């Protein structure tokens, strides 16, 4: 993940796209030339990832058509106010390992899910998942709460991390589950470190 993000650190925003096998970073910024490890798709637009993913992104951009735009409407994320955002179609596995592989189990019975991040003095994370049914939405919520409870219990000797885990806000409306977290950058890095193990 760091290899994909590092070349795009000067971007105004970054979009991560995956087909379940490959991960692609697409960034908009003031790029006069391609950042290291990335390809300039158009002035101010760069892509990094597998050669096949980058070629597909360039081909899609040349058509002028937006890809999978139907995924963006249900999530209702304030994308313009967030530098990083990602949308996933339900049932399509993300290319992640370790504890992060639990995301695939969570997302299995969703129609779509999205995450958006605003970076400032605090990092604000907003996520939305839409279950295929109301029961699937309830199961997503319960599973997420269980994962966070287990993470808090496993890190009982780190009260700062436990407090951060308990500060995650989760609410469900029918089949839609919304999650929010606002914390200092170092705290968020610690929390993400748990998922990466």
Tens of pLDDT, residue by residue over 34-51, are 888 888 888 888 888 889
Q: Residue 37 and residue 107: Cα distance in Å, rounded? A: 30
94-118 pLDDT, tens per residue? 777 777 777 888 888 899 888 888 8
1 confidence band (pLDDT: 50, 70, 90)? very low
Mean pLDDT in residue range 78-103:
72
Residue 67 has pLDDT above 70, yes or no: no
Give strand ranges (E) for 10-122: 11-18, 23-29, 39-42, 45-49, 84-89, 110-119
Percent of the chain with pLDDT over 90: 31
**Does the pLDDT of residue 3 top 60, yes or no?**
no
User: Could you tell me which residue, 16 or 137, shows the higher pLDDT?
Assistant: 137
- Domain end (from 22, 43, 67): 67
Neighbours of 48 (CB within 10 A): 25
165 pLDDT higher than 90 = yes
Q: What is the pLDDT of residue 136?
A: 94
Cα separation, 128 vs 143, whole angstroms: 14
Structural domain harbouring 121: 71-197
Can you state the angle between helices 185-196 and 159-166, rounded to 10 degrees? 90
- Which of 41, 67, 93 finishes a domain? 67
What pLDDT, on the 0 to 100 scale, is given for residue 4? 47
What percent of the chain has pLDDT above 70? 84
Cα gap 101→47, rounded to integer Å: 25
Computed over every residue of the chain, the mean pLDDT equals 82
- Nearest-10 crossing angle of helices 159-166, 134-154: 170
Question: Which residues, including other chains, have CB under 8 Å from residue 30's CB and lie 6 or more apart?
Answer: 10, 12, 44
Looking at the fold, whether 28 and 119 belong to one and the same domain comes out as no
Handedness of CA 171, 177, 182, 185 (dihedral sign): positive
Give me the number of domains the chain comprises. Answer: 2
* Domain stop point among 67, 98, 119: 67
């Amino acid at each position: 993940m760091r290899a994909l993000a590092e070349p795009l650190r000067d971007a105004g925003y970054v979009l991560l796209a995956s087909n379940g096998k490959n991960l692609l970073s697409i960034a908009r910024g003031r790029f006069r030339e391609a950042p290291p490890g990335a390809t300039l798709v158009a002035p101010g637009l760069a892509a990094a990832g597998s050669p096949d993913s980058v070629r597909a992104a360039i081909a899609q951009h040349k058509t002028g058509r937006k890809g999978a735009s139907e995924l963006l409407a249900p999530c209702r994320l304030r994308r313009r106010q967030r530098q990083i955002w990602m949308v996933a179609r339900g049932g399509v596995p993300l290319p992640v390992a370790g504890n992060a592989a639990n995301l695939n189990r969570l997302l299995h019975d969703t129609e779509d899910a999205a995450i958006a991040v605003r970076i400032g003095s605090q990092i604000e994370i907003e996520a939305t998942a839409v279950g295929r049914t109301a029961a699937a939405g309830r199961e997503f919520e319960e599973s997420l709460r269980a994962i966070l409870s287990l993470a808090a219990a496993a890190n009982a000797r780190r009260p700062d991390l436990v407090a951060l885990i308990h500060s995650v806000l989760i609410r469900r409306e029918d089949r839609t589950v919304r999650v929010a977290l606002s914390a200092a950058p170092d705290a968020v890095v610690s929390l993400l470190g748990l998922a990466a193990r």
